[in-house]
Amino acid sequence: MAAIARTARNPEGLETLDAFCATGSLRRAADRLHLHLHLHHSSVARRLEQITKVLGNELAQPAGLLRAGLALTEWRLLDD
């Protein structure tokens, strides 16, 4: 949970994590983010690398993606 809070300090990082968790794909997350942030997939990849370091789990693996998605949901529920 603390790692999600650190990620949330940067709204773009949180938005990137949210897009990746929602799509499960770097390319689809980049497409989603490109619509309003005009991000290229390489920029999204760099962001995800940093987020992976903060979270301490591999987002490219199904278990890591699931853990990140659950942590993000829990953080949002507790933030309300």
Amino acid 80: pLDDT: 64
- Rounded CA gap, 72 and 12, in Å? 14
Q: How far is CA 19 from CA 1, 3, 24, 26, 44, in A?
A: 18, 17, 8, 9, 10
- Rounded CA gap, 73 and 79, in Å? 10
Residues 31-45, mean pLDDT to the nearest whole number: 83
- Rounded CA gap, 60 and 78, in Å? 26
Share of the chain above pLDDT 90, in %: 54
Q: Is 75 helix (H, G, I), strand (E, B) or coil?
A: helix
Predicted structure pTM score:
0.86
- Rounded CA gap, 79 and 25, in Å? 26
